[in-house]
Structure 1
Amino acid sequence: MKKKIALVDDHVMLRNGLAALLEDCGYEILFQASNGKELIEKLNEKALPQLVLMDINMPRMDGFETALWLKKNHPQVCVLALSMLDDEASIIRMLRAGAGGYILKDSDPDELQKAIEAVLQKGFYHSELVSGKLIRAINNLDEHDAFAETLSVKLSEKETEFLRWACTDLSYKEIAEKMGISPRTVDNYRDTLQEKLACKGRIGLAMWAIKNGIVTV
C-alpha cells in the first residue's frame, strides 16, 4: 500500500514538482495545500496523511503554527519540514513544534526520500543540518545509549535557567543580560552543559531541555 503524503507550500510550481517527484518514488499525494489553514480545511479525519511535508514561511498559517496544531490535534501524523531557512532558531522552533525532521529545499531527491522514510519509520531523521547525534540523543533512549545516562543528571537552578533561555531565539549575549551574568559565564554554562549532557551545540542543549521537560511548547 502506498504511503500517503500531504504537501504544504505556498509556491505552486515547487509543490507540483515535489508531487510529481514523490509520485514517481511510489508515494500517494493525498492532497496539496498553500498554508496551514488550507491544510486543516482539507484534512479528512477518516483518511489522514501519514506524513505532512511542509514549508515554514507561508501566509495565513506558517509551518511553526501548523506543526504545533498537528502535534496537538493529530499526533499520529508525522511532519517533515522542507525549508530554505538554515538558522538555529528556526530549526529549534520547528522541532519544538513537533517536526520529526528538517531538511533544506536544495537537498538531493535521494535525501528527501531518505528523510521521508526515516520519519515515517522511526519518527525522526538524521540529517547533516540537524546532527544525527543530537536527534539520536533525544529520540533513541536505548538503555545502552550514552544519552540515557544523562537523564539522571542533576542541574543547578542557573543551569536550568540557562537551558530555558537556550530554547529561545536570543543570542548568548542577550541571554547573559537576561540572567544578570557575564557573557563569559554564559559560555561556561554552555560548555559545561554540553559535556555534562553529552550534547553538541545549542540545538543539542535545546532539544535535551525539551525532551526532558525543562521547557514546554
Structure 2
Amino acid sequence: MNNYGIKVALVDDSSVIRNSIYEIITLWGYDVMLRAVNGKDLLKQLSAGNVPDICITDLNMPVMDGYETIAALKEKWPDIKIIAFSITNNKKEEERAIEAGAHAFVSKLSSITELQKVLQDMQLPAGSGY
C-alpha cells in the first residue's frame, strides 16, 4: 500500500504505544512527521509549515488531554483530520471525542486493522465518508 505524502502526527503519553504505532504506520507508507507526549507538546511542534494531514491522539494524557488537544486543533488547524485513540472501548468516551471534533474513534483494544481502515477512509475525497 502506498500512502506516501500523507503526513501523520502521533500524540500519546506512552512511549511504547507511540513508538509501536509509529513503526506500524510507517510500514504502511505514512509519513509520521510529529510525535508528541501530550497535546501541549504537539501544539509546540506545530507551525504553518509543519501541519499533518491526520492526527492520531490518545485521550487520557497528563498536562493536556486528548479532548483539549482535539478542541485546540479544530480551532487553529481545522483541516487536520483527527483520530481519537484510547485504551477504553467506552461509548461515552467515543461520543465525547466526536463531540469535541474528532473524525473517528479507534480503541487500542481493537485489531490494528481497525486503525488501518480508519486511516484509509480518511484519505477519501471530501463527501465520501469523513
The TM-score with structure 1 as length reference comes to 0.55
| Alignment correspondent of 2:43 | 40
- Tell me, yes or no, if the aligned pair for 2:89 and 2:109 is still in contact at 8 Å: no
Give the structure, 1 or 2, with the largest relative contact order (CA under 8 Å, sep 6 or more): 2
- Tell me, yes or no, if the aligned pair for 2:83 and 2:105 is still in contact at 8 Å: yes
| Alignment correspondent of 1:57 | 60
- Tell me, yes or no, if the aligned pair for 1:64 and 1:97 is still in contact at 8 Å: yes
Task: Provide the C-alpha distance between the structure 2 equivalents of 1:64 and 1:79, rounded to a whole number of angstroms.
Answer: 11
CA deviation after TM superposition for structure 1 residue 103, in Å: 1.0
| Pair member with larger Rg | 1
TM alignment of 1:58-137, pairs within 5 A: 58-121=61-124
Aligned residue identity for 2:8: I
CA deviation after TM superposition for structure 1 residue 95, in Å: 0.3
| Alignment correspondent of 1:29 | 32
Alignment coverage as a number of residue pairs: 126
CA deviation after TM superposition for structure 1 residue 123, in Å: 6.8
Rate the CA distance shift 1:87–1:79 in 2: closer, same or farther, 3 A: same
CA deviation after TM superposition for structure 1 residue 119, in Å: 2.4
CA deviation after TM superposition for structure 1 residue 93, in Å: 1.1
CA deviation after TM superposition for structure 1 residue 121, in Å: 2.2
CA deviation after TM superposition for structure 1 residue 86, in Å: 2.2
Q: Greater strand percent: which structure?
A: 2
Deviations 1:168-213 (A, max 9, x none): xxxxxxxxxxxxxxxxxxxxxxxxxxxxxxxxxxxxxxxxxxxxxx
| Alignment correspondent of 2:18 | 15
Task: Provide the C-alpha distance between the structure 2 equivalents of 1:59 and 1:122, rounded to a whole number of angstroms.
Answer: 35
Task: Provide the C-alpha distance between the structure 1 equivalents of 2:50 and 2:57, rounded to a whole number of angstroms.
Answer: 18
Unmatched 5+ stretches in structure 1: 125-135, 140-217
Rate the CA distance shift 1:123–1:99 in 2: closer, same or farther, 3 A: farther
CA deviation after TM superposition for structure 1 residue 34, in Å: 0.5
Moved over 3 A (4+): none
The TM-score with structure 2 as length reference comes to 0.89
Alignment RMSD (CA, Å): 1.8
Identity %: 33
Aligned residue identity for 1:118: D
